[in-house]
Structure 1
Amino acid sequence: MDAEVIVVGAGPTGLMLACELRLAGVDVLVLERFAGHKPDSRAGGIHARTIEVLDQRGMAAPFLERGEPLAGGHFSAIPLDFSGMETRYPYLLKILQSRIEELLSEHAARLGVRVRRGDEVTGLRQDATAAELDVRTPGDGTRRTRAGYVVGCDGGRSTVRKLAGIGFPGTPATLTALLGDVELAEPPGGLVFQEPHERGTISVIGFEPGWYRVMTTQHDRVADPDSPVTFETLREACLEIAGTDYGMSRPRWISRFGDAARQADSYRSGRVLLAGDAAHIHYPSGGQGLNMGVQDAVNLGWKLASVVRGHAPERLLDTYHAERYPVAERVLANTRAQTALARTDAHTMALRELMAKLIGFGDVNAHLAGMITALDLRYPAAGAHPLAGRRVPDAGIATATGETRVYELLHAGRGVLLDLGAGAGAVAAPWKDRVDHVQARSLAATWAVPSLGAVAAPGAVLIRPDGHVAWAADADADADADADAGDDAGAGDVRAWDGGDGAAEAPDRDALRGALGDWFGPPR
């Protein structure tokens, strides 16, 4: 074996996945067909949930330092207010994809991830024990590279997906969009500018001093995706739509894309898996693509590592498709809606005006903001507790060593049983090689949850490495009373766990044991 896992593609998804695997002790090799770092910066920001998953690994600080917070995002260019979202990061962080890849590459290097650039995958085979790749290299011709698993993070035209025979159904493009990073002598006013015209829409975003991102969209025109696109192509489109090119010059990058929306019919075929654009493509309305890819990686990473390390059975990998497929399905649906809403005919413009008024209502804004940022995401989970399946809030807690936050507990990429007075540690003891037991006291009586509001702080919560709640139980009323009377953190009533109040409490204990087994494998 050349590695336990080979990741194909060194974009944000592939790099994040490699970091997750290496953090868990997996020998991972990343293959990237471009010899150097790619110059393009398709994505221009990261949403709150992506910042949260970086924070869960102690990685957020450099991104926050390099990025610029914006108070909101948009739904088909209709502004959304993010300031009221239940998160420590109620904003869109404006940061170019090239910077994101640079920071992820640096973190991957610190973790010891091996990255081979200039290696292009040309063939794939798999058997019961491994997957094997044919790789074209810059100097050595072609060689075979073998690993226990291969993950294709190689974009919308994924070679891995095609070689694995995984279907990619969906809807074809209905429009042509051009994107260019250029200097403008006569930029339109405002940091973010968008203007519809009879012949299309033009958008201009100021990214860094002196240069801008210009994007044009023309419906009912579908260009050949393989035909060349040049600076002059962008200039001509701007002139046709707006009657001006804003004095553009010195292009850094020009690209063309459409609104094709497609999704792999399976995210896994044996020992081959897909993540990011290799698994789903869509029009970039709302800036959801890069964010969804990074979150794919965080969902898959700990599961794949657990299987590779022999902690969990291979069927755990099936939960990756089960959980992430519906997420992309929802994104494809909302981006189709956004592109339809972006048309410039009189009927659609009337609909946009109505939608803008509706989005002004708090509940509508909150619903769309939760969807675009993925803060409202809830995976299927056993149990009726309102936290089950949701991403755990980054609540303030007090442990024996002082005050901290829930996300600080997730830096190691392990499961966490956070015991807030229920005395649940004995149940989790057989999983102590995979799950950290932390006794603490919640600093607040309620936790803020998107779409739910204030939820009573739980008595115990089992947190998966990706930050989602696998199981939770309410606090015991007597334990709360003891805590209010001044008990030490974590020294609450344990009757719900030792059977002291009778058999009625046993299902909670059994449910916790079942969740531990389901997500972290058999006990040791």
Structure 2
Amino acid sequence: MPAVAAERGVVVVGAGPTGLMVAAELATAGVPVTLVDRRRPGNPNVTRAFAVHAATLELFDMRGLADALVGTGAQVRQLQLFDTVRVDLGRLPSRYGYLLVTPQSQTERVLRDRVDSLGVAVELGVDVTGLSQDGDGVTVAGRREDGSAVELRGSVVVGADGAGSTVRRELGLPFPGRSVLRSIMLADVRLTAPPRQVLTVNAVGDGFAFVAPFGDGWYRVFAWDRRRQVGDDAPVDLEEIREVMVRALGSDLGMHSPRWLSRFHSDERQSPSYRRGRVILAGDAAHVHSPAGGQGMNTGLQDAANLGWKLAAVLNGRASEALLDTYQGERHPVGATVLRTSGALIRMAMMRSPVARRVRNGLAGVAAGFPPVADRAARTVSGIGVRYAAPAGADRRVGSRAGDLALADGRLHERLRAGQFVLVADREPADVPEHVVWAAPASPVGEPVLVRPDGYVGWVGDVADYPYWP
């Protein structure tokens, strides 16, 4: 893959959280980016995600964005899954030992500010209609709202255009799986009796209700009724949602004055391949999951962080193309794991038998009292527990999360702000690549540790032996 031409760069299709994150990572590394999306700005109702997990907050901290996002929401240290079953996020080995509850629109705003500050070209209101790739690039065809044609050219195209991805369809990639929940109802409402807790959620076998705040007096309600399964285009009646809320929560919380009502369905699907030639998929274009655990948007953002620095390193001639091949190897298993865990959670939540639910709650209560199990649950749901396979013969730490190591002059996440590799070594080596920053640890580490731009250990030992240098 040749070095990217200044006038060409990368075209990212989809300006949701994943696409914004990819664009920001590429631009941080000096790669020209064009971000294109069919949406016009200013539509708050696309928000479905309200959960920002610790692993995502750590990524944002590595780029200096965490404080801006944390200030928009509320922190939840005990994540309720259903009934009395909770995951204690306070036990996470992270400065972000909680779930941040904030609407997806706030996450997008923080990322939009980032891409704007980096000079990313943004084309909104453009519907991508096709793409074709050749030996040295990809052409993206699109159409504006006024009917005029648009053509964009990039060395690489990243498809971050959601579950109905045009990019994936144009590649001819399958998206196997099935619908796990149909006819989920959405409403933006006011509440005369808002709940005391930040998140309100419960499932009762034949339905569930979830309530989250926008932070401005409006609340988003999600409700599902096993007794009434209709198509996404069926009208939604506030009384229908009210009945489910009373059944699941014991109250409708004084719900009134809806400003928006809709339906959607939730699928479990994953593309077998995240890449074909010069076109790469990320986020919901590559995998979709049940909403249980709030892992969907977070998994996409972590895809973006994994892909962004790798693609930039290859295009800038600082890494071999073999590095780009590791995106599929590292992120596809993570997507599959999220499919399994979120699928198991939603199926446990939907248990119809009262006896089965009592057994489920009892077993979960016992497990929560066993520290290794409780720790694993918190790490799994939050994304902190993700680790990648190390190359053959590498130190066992390679592929693990580095954590926010204390340095002699600060902390590791602060040194990662520029999106570079950081070499944590007791003494500054004589020969360090120009795109690698040396950092002295607060406590001796022994062998040098090369930390990737996404905060994972890339290598331990002589930095020259890192297997993906060009």
Task: Name the TM-score, length of structure 1 as normaliser.
Answer: 0.82
How far, CA to CA, are the matches of 2:126 and 2:313 in structure 1? 28
For the 8 Å contact 1:258–1:283, the answer to whether it is kept is no
Deviates more, 1:117-126 or 1:132-141: 132-141
Match of 2:369 among 360, 379, 385: 360
* Displacement after TM superposition at 1:220 (Å): 7.4
* C-alpha spacing 1:433/1:190, structure 2 compared with 1 (3 Å): closer
* Displacement after TM superposition at 1:172 (Å): 2.7
Which residue of structure 2 lines up, in the alignment, with residue 393 of structure 1?
403
Instruction: Write out per-residue CA displacement over residues 308-348 of structure 1, whole angstroms, 9 at most, x where no aligned residue.
Output: 22233333221111100000100000011011101232243
Question: Any idea what SS the aligned residue of 1:208 has?
Answer: coil
Match of 2:169 among 151, 162, 183: 162
Question: Any idea what SS the aligned residue of 2:419 has?
Answer: coil
Deviates more, 1:191-200 or 1:156-165: 191-200
Match of 2:55 among 24, 49, 68: 49
* C-alpha spacing 1:174/1:16, structure 2 compared with 1 (3 Å): closer
Question: For residues 261-340 of structure 1, what are the structure 2 equivalents within 5 Å?
Answer: 261-340=268-347
Unpaired stretches in structure 1, ≥5 consecutive residues: 446-456, 474-508
1:514 and 2:465 equivalent? yes
Unpaired stretches in structure 2, ≥5 consecutive residues: none
Which residue of structure 2 lines up, in the alignment, with residue 146 of structure 1?
153
1:464 and 2:459 equivalent? no
Please provide the CA RMSD for this pair.
2.4
Which residue of structure 2 lines up, in the alignment, with residue 484 of structure 1?
none
Question: For residues 105-254 of structure 1, what are the structure 2 equivalents within 5 Å?
Answer: 105-139=112-146, 141-187=148-194, 190-197=197-204, 199-208=206-215, 210-219=217-226, 222-229=229-236, 231=238, 234-235=241-242, 237-238=244-245, 245-254=252-261
Question: Any idea what SS the aligned residue of 1:87 has?
Answer: coil
Which residue of structure 2 lines up, in the alignment, with residue 350 of structure 1?
358
Match of 1:71 among 73, 77, 92: 77
Deviates more, 1:379-388 or 1:4-13: 379-388
Question: Any idea what SS the aligned residue of 1:83 has?
Answer: helix
1:433 and 2:427 equivalent? no
Deviates more, 1:269-278 or 1:74-83: 74-83
Task: Name the TM-score, length of structure 2 as normaliser.
Answer: 0.91
Deviates more, 1:457-466 or 1:351-360: 351-360
How far, CA to CA, are the matches of 2:369 and 2:107 in structure 1? 32
How far, CA to CA, are the matches of 2:347 and 2:362 in structure 1? 14
Which residue of structure 1 lines up, in the alignment, with residue 14 of structure 2?
9
For the 8 Å contact 1:178–1:216, the answer to whether it is kept is yes
Instruction: Write out per-residue CA displacement over residues 427-471 of structure 1, whole angstroms, 9 at most, x where no aligned residue.
Output: x53xx2322233x1324x7xxxxxxxxxxx443101111111012
* Displacement after TM superposition at 1:164 (Å): 1.2
For the 8 Å contact 1:76–1:285, the answer to whether it is kept is no
Which residue of structure 1 lines up, in the alignment, with residue 424 of structure 2?
418
How far, CA to CA, are the matches of 1:174 and 1:109 in structure 2? 37
Which residue of structure 2 lines up, in the alignment, with residue 32 of structure 1?
37
* C-alpha spacing 1:272/1:441, structure 2 compared with 1 (3 Å): closer
Q: Which has the higher contact order (CA 8 A, sep 6+)?
A: 2
- 2:451 maps to a residue whose letter is I
- 2:403 maps to a residue whose letter is P
Deviates more, 1:11-20 or 1:311-320: 311-320
How far, CA to CA, are the matches of 1:441 and 1:173 in structure 2? 47
Instruction: Write out per-residue CA displacement over residues 367-421 of structure 1, whole angstroms, 9 at most, x where no aligned residue.
Output: 11101111111111135644321111212121xxxx2101111111111211124
* Displacement after TM superposition at 1:174 (Å): 4.5
How far, CA to CA, are the matches of 2:230 and 2:322 in structure 1? 42
* C-alpha spacing 1:55/1:111, structure 2 compared with 1 (3 Å): same
- 1:348 maps to a residue whose letter is A
* Displacement after TM superposition at 1:228 (Å): 4.6
- 2:150 maps to a residue whose letter is R
Instruction: Write out per-residue CA displacement over residues 464-497 of structure 1, whole angstroms, 9 at most, x where no aligned residue.
Output: 1111101225xxxxxxxxxxxxxxxxxxxxxxxx
For the 8 Å contact 2:235–2:262, the answer to whether it is kept is no
How many residues of Structure 1 are paired with residues of Structure 2 in the alignment?
460
Match of 1:258 among 242, 255, 265: 265
How far, CA to CA, are the matches of 1:252 and 1:108 in structure 2? 30
* C-alpha spacing 1:385/1:351, structure 2 compared with 1 (3 Å): farther
Instruction: Write out per-residue CA displacement over residues 99-155 of structure 1, whole angstroms, 9 at most, x where no aligned residue.
Output: 111111111101111111101101111111111111111346112211111111111
Question: Any idea what SS the aligned residue of 2:294 has?
Answer: coil
For the 8 Å contact 2:68–2:110, the answer to whether it is kept is yes
For the 8 Å contact 1:178–1:215, the answer to whether it is kept is yes
- 1:466 maps to a residue whose letter is D
- 1:132 maps to a residue whose letter is T
Question: Any idea what SS the aligned residue of 1:171 has?
Answer: strand
* Displacement after TM superposition at 1:76 (Å): 4.8
* Displacement after TM superposition at 1:229 (Å): 4.4
For the 8 Å contact 2:187–2:261, the answer to whether it is kept is yes
* C-alpha spacing 1:306/1:376, structure 2 compared with 1 (3 Å): same
1:91 and 2:98 equivalent? yes
For the 8 Å contact 2:406–2:442, the answer to whether it is kept is yes
Instruction: Percent identity, please.
Output: 40
